[in-house]
Structure 1
Amino acid sequence: MNKPALWPWLAALVSGVLLAMCFPGWDWPGMVWVWMLPLFPAIWRGRRKRYGFGIGYVAGLVFWLLNLKWLWTVSGLGAIAMAAFLALYFGFWGAIAVSVGNPWRQKKTAEKKPHQGSKIQEKILKKQAAQKGGGVLGGVLNESTRSLKFALINAASWVGIEWLRGWLFTGFGWNGLGVAFHDTPVLAQAADLVGVTGLAFLPVLMSAVIVQTVTRFKGELVSGKLRPRLDFSVAALMLAVQFCYGVWRVKDVGGWETERVRVLLIQENIPQDIKWDPKSVADILQGYADSTTAAVKEIEDANVALLRANMDGEVVEMKQPDLVIWPESAMPNPLLFIEGDTRHYLYGDTAHLLGNEIQPLGAFSVIAGMNLFEAYHSDGLVHWKEGGRQYNSIAVIAPGGALEESIQTYRKMHLVLFGEYIPLVDRLPFLGKLFKFSAGADFSGNFDAGTSTDPLTVTVGDGEVQLIPSVCFEDTVGRLTRQFVRQAPQVMVNVTNDGWFKESEAAAQHMANAKFRAIELRRPLVRCANTGVSGVVSATGSLMDPMTGARQVVEDAQGNHFVRGNLYGHAYAPVHGPVTLYAVAGDWFAMVMLAVVGFVMMRALFTRINEAT
């Protein structure tokens, strides 16, 4: 009995490592074109779906264990369980790749069929087949078409399954293949057509074509008959088209008329053990007040220096923020609301902070992450309602006027499973105990999910700009943010707290994923995070100011974003609010790819049934 080959499993392991290297933590994005080269031969040598699933699963498990190692800062058990679950999607893809996506499987089947007749008859049949195929050129076309067909099946199935990963069970679309292009703007621009999930198509197609081309080339070297590689030429042409589209799109978007929104981001870099300590509430509140006051003073000092440097009377522009932004859950005390009441109510220390220390600094709107709790009136007072609704939210406080009447809120819609809510935890209390065992902290209760997709509105200069709000990981969910798009000047605002994961690569990976919302929707994205990465992403996915070329990130001189600091920057909202194909149709490309794979699989099933009968 032949021993099972070890090299395919080692190849799967290597592929998982290479894929992990594409993302922040290693940041070798070029590996996106390489990582599948060992994986395809390892899968295609097999015939059974179980084998293909196993190879794919090993590659996925290695990738996710490395890629999500930052989860160990919260829960080692959670990190392992998450990796084991997400690897299933790689396994499902492997089962497709080894069956309907396997170009070698059909050849092997054909080779096992007995040949009838003499060698002369076989030569005649081969000659007739060649003439039917159009001679040498026909053979080249047939081989290239066949290669592209199987490459298409593999690429389509990858895109479709990656989309399912971001949708099933609330979804986790984190670090799809397309995210590897987060620092390659030219190749990332097609996301406004097909979404970041659709960007995975070409790397998979290219890898499948390369492996098939190398295999055929080796056989032709032995026979001494080399043929043109039309399939490789087609794949290279597709890459060139994507590149050219990116070059054109960057230039095109750069020429749009925009409304400049001046933002001031405050990043306190508060450790989690302090952030949630009730004894630290006063210090945290005062910290935001002091940091904001100091940042505004820096801006005023810069204005004074600018005026002194222009004593000849030239017109100079004074810096003044339109928006001051604090991160997720910046205010330890919740904001209260009463059903049917348009006002919002603040605890005394928070009201004092905003009304007496922040608002006098300037005519800007304050955007802050705050928990929003349901309350009720009693004896002329507002009381928190025990068992009432509670939301992770964004509060937008307009300048001037009574605080209670100047607050707009957004209620987070996409909640984190086993983070912000645990299904059936009331009926199955052991789930809460399991959370405490894995996370090392008590579960504080389920948040409710918001339902509104109406943008918020702020005053900028003499006009208004709409805000597309998102909290925490919502800026990685394209199907959600696209629902806020309107044909008007808009800026996306995300507040987040990645401090749970300490000084790991989680924050950098979060930013890498978030960049694609700016490209998909062609709206600038402003992010304010407790521990970073805070910054401004342009409508082309760049962290550089399109007008000044300055890098717009809160970081130190060494590029470290785990700092306490601030950023005065600019977001440029397209005046006419053009609506992209992705904003209109969402992940249409991934759905089409999924339908293509479904058709291919059904056709293969019917073919087997017919052959059996």
Structure 2
Amino acid sequence: MIGSFKEMDKKRQAFDAERPAPTFTHPVFKSSLLPLFGSIMSGVFLALAFPGFGKTTLVFAALVPLMFAVQSASAKKAAGLGLLCGFVFFIMSLGWLRNLTGMVEGAGLKASALLGYVVLALYCALYVVPFTLAVAFGVKQWAGSNLWKNLRFMFAVSMVWTGAEYLRGLLFTGFPWNPLGVTQYANTTIIQLAEWGGVHLISAFIVWMNAAVFITLRQYTHGSRMKRYRPHFELMLGIAPLALSIAYGMNVLFNVPEYYDSVNVALIQPNIEQTEKWDAAKDREILDTLEELTSAAVRLGTTDLVIWPETALPDPVRLSRSCSALVERMSSHGIPLLAGSMDFDTSGAAPVWYNSSILFGTNGTFLATYNKQHLVPFGEYVPFPSFMRKFTPIEMDFGMGDESTVMPLRGEASFSVLICFEDTVAPLAVKAVRAGARWLVSQSNDAWFDPSAQSEQHLAHAVFRCVENRIPMARCCNTGVSCTIDAYGSMQRNLAVRTKGFTVGALQPRPVGLEQTFYTRSGNAFAKVALLAGATVLFVLRSLNRKKRKKNVQDAE
């Protein structure tokens, strides 16, 4: 097969050498606006592929206009076009952040919220720049009619994008929102390979496909495919990883083992507006809603655990008589209760407050507590508080938890909790599974951003935590999406977003002694390799382009 590829490639290069490249004289090809249009188009296509728009197949060619836009650009122009594309992408896909302006009062705080949204989009856009530099440098060195050089180019840009995407989830506490692989969260066949390389492996396949489409189309525009029929080796090899991932996924899904242990969970979705959660006059109404829904759920008689969402209780349960009394009444039904509540630690010189999840036994006793480990900047703490606090409504910083708590449940159905955006942080799920969790609970309060696409995007990330670690998850959210997800990414959704209600779902805990996935054992090993490979090829390409430019100057002299 390799030999036949080489022979066909030699014939193709011979044909290309005999036929001059076409020249494009139409004004549209000389317009300086065309690269801008290509950059913006890619940004729009990327955003449309994510939940909220749902045009998931667009992602497999979304980067192609950007690659054409920067193929002959200088490094400075390529960087600018990458920044523009990234900004359009994130300003659209993070549009739900605009809803924060309705959560604060005063023109100053509203302006700060809007400015923060724009600054975050610009910051995330920076991580597109290495990709466009790699494309601009790589086209000059490798892209053309030589198959092996084209494959080298495809590999280089795929690694650079994936490495930058991984880096965005690390720096400055990390913002791992909307990696490209997340677009495929509902395509359960493609995402099964995440147990080996996580969501970033799916992202790499997507970029590889984009690069293959770009190389194939570029050969037409640059004279390499003017014959009636030509083998599209790059396109075929670009499709190959996706085809193999589908085949692998089908094999996995057709051979799902049957486990006989199961846990029934009641997920309470109170649908409380965020502004009402801050209104003390609404506290009684909130407690009544929790009691009404919980009482209805436990009457079904098949529940092993009742789950309330993040900060479901309006006041810290250990300080509020009304909250603690409600917990005692609800746990007296003989079913453990997992409640989201603020909690505190007074062992130090000053009290430390936490965003916590507390497990209560059947008599209202404390069984276990988990304190959120990954805090949201400007939501749960203020960086550089002496300067930044005046621009936010946050008066108090939460403390940061330091471990994943494995919470006991009947038999060996122990579980761990992820609070709010922690289900977007892959290492936290890995940490919990390594600690012994057999299933996961995600408690969230997305009322900050609803109604918007945020709830669906949030759910999409959670799906990958399940597939990566082959572990099920119960998601309980104030306004949605409340559901159960199995170890293969399939979802059971019975409650509409922004509705008050409850749902009871069954999940199968990960069996004791089952071998951990490669991803659980190795974490983001693939993404780390991609980061190293991407940085290396970018450095090499930059050096090669400098040498080539220097040689051209010398030849001109």
TM-score (ref. length: structure 1): 0.79
Match of 2:195 among 181, 192, 203: 192
Contact preservation (8 Å) 2:141, 2:541: no
Q: Give 3-state SS (helix, strand or coil) of 1:456's partner.
A: coil
The residue aligned with 2:501 is 565
Please give the alpha-carbon distance, in whole angstroms, between the structure 1 residues aligned to 2:47 and 2:546: 41
Q: Does 2:124 match 1:81?
A: no
The residue aligned with 1:397 is 360
Please give the alpha-carbon distance, in whole angstroms, between the structure 1 residues aligned to 2:133 and 2:539: 15
- Kindly state the Cα deviation for residue 172 of structure 1 after the two structures are TM-superposed: 0.7
- Kindly state the Cα deviation for residue 399 of structure 1 after the two structures are TM-superposed: 1.5
Contact preservation (8 Å) 2:494, 2:503: yes
Match of 2:494 among 553, 557, 564: 553
Please give the alpha-carbon distance, in whole angstroms, between the structure 2 residues aligned to 1:164 and 1:158: 10
Q: Give 3-state SS (helix, strand or coil) of 2:76's partner.
A: helix
Match of 1:65 among 68, 72, 91: 91
Please give the alpha-carbon distance, in whole angstroms, between the structure 1 residues aligned to 2:142 and 2:254: 46
Superposed CA deviations along residues 480-514 of structure 1, whole A, max 9, x for unmatched, are: 11011148671100111000113111111111111
- Kindly state the Cα deviation for residue 4 of structure 1 after the two structures are TM-superposed: 6.1
Contact preservation (8 Å) 2:134, 2:541: no
1:153-552 matches, within 5 Å, as 153-219=156-222, 224=227, 227-252=230-255, 254-297=256-299, 299=300, 319-335=301-317, 345=318, 347-355=320-328, 357-361=329-333, 363-375=334-346, 387-400=350-363, 403-404=364-365, 406-425=366-385, 428=386, 430-435=387-392, 442-459=393-410, 463-486=411-434, 490-544=438-492, 552=493
Q: Alpha carbons of 1:608 and 1:532: their partners in 2 closer, same or farther (altered >3 Å)?
A: closer
Count of aligned positions:
509
Identity of aligned residues (%): 31
Please give the alpha-carbon distance, in whole angstroms, between the structure 2 residues aligned to 1:220 and 1:245: 37
Q: Alpha carbons of 1:510 and 1:18: their partners in 2 closer, same or farther (altered >3 Å)?
A: same
Please give the alpha-carbon distance, in whole angstroms, between the structure 2 residues aligned to 1:280 and 1:106: 64
- Kindly state the Cα deviation for residue 33 of structure 1 after the two structures are TM-superposed: 0.9
Match of 1:586 among 505, 523, 545: 523
- Kindly state the Cα deviation for residue 375 of structure 1 after the two structures are TM-superposed: 3.9
Q: Alpha carbons of 1:228 and 1:375: their partners in 2 closer, same or farther (altered >3 Å)?
A: same
Please give the alpha-carbon distance, in whole angstroms, between the structure 2 residues aligned to 1:173 and 1:23: 14
Please give the alpha-carbon distance, in whole angstroms, between the structure 1 residues aligned to 2:46 and 2:368: 42
TM-score (ref. length: structure 2): 0.86
- Kindly state the Cα deviation for residue 386 of structure 1 after the two structures are TM-superposed: 9.1
Superposed CA deviations along residues 111-166 of structure 1, whole A, max 9, x for unmatched, are: xxxxxxxxxxxxxxxxxxxxxxxxxxxxxxx8211111101101110000000011
Contact preservation (8 Å) 2:378, 2:394: no
Superposed CA deviations along residues 328-371 of structure 1, whole A, max 9, x for unmatched, are: 00111214xxxxxxxxx45322221122x21232x221011111
- The structure that has the greater radius of gyration is 1
Q: What 5-or-longer segments of structure 2 have no aligned partner?
A: 1-28, 101-112, 552-557
Please give the alpha-carbon distance, in whole angstroms, between the structure 2 residues aligned to 1:515 and 1:107: 36
Please give the alpha-carbon distance, in whole angstroms, between the structure 1 residues aligned to 2:336 and 2:537: 54
Please give the alpha-carbon distance, in whole angstroms, between the structure 1 residues aligned to 2:472 and 2:521: 18
Contact preservation (8 Å) 1:328, 1:530: yes
Please give the alpha-carbon distance, in whole angstroms, between the structure 2 residues aligned to 1:284 and 1:606: 62
The residue aligned with 1:16 is 43
The residue aligned with 2:65 is 38
Contact preservation (8 Å) 1:325, 1:528: yes
- Kindly state the Cα deviation for residue 106 of structure 1 after the two structures are TM-superposed: 5.8
Please give the alpha-carbon distance, in whole angstroms, between the structure 2 residues aligned to 1:258 and 1:391: 37
Q: What 5-or-longer segments of structure 1 have no aligned partner?
A: 109-141, 300-318, 336-344, 377-384, 436-441, 545-551, 556-560
What's the Cα RMSD here? Answer: 2.3
Please give the alpha-carbon distance, in whole angstroms, between the structure 2 residues aligned to 1:107 and 1:395: 57
Superposed CA deviations along residues 146-189 of structure 1, whole A, max 9, x for unmatched, are: 11110110111000000001111011111110000011110111
Q: Give 3-state SS (helix, strand or coil) of 1:200's partner.
A: helix
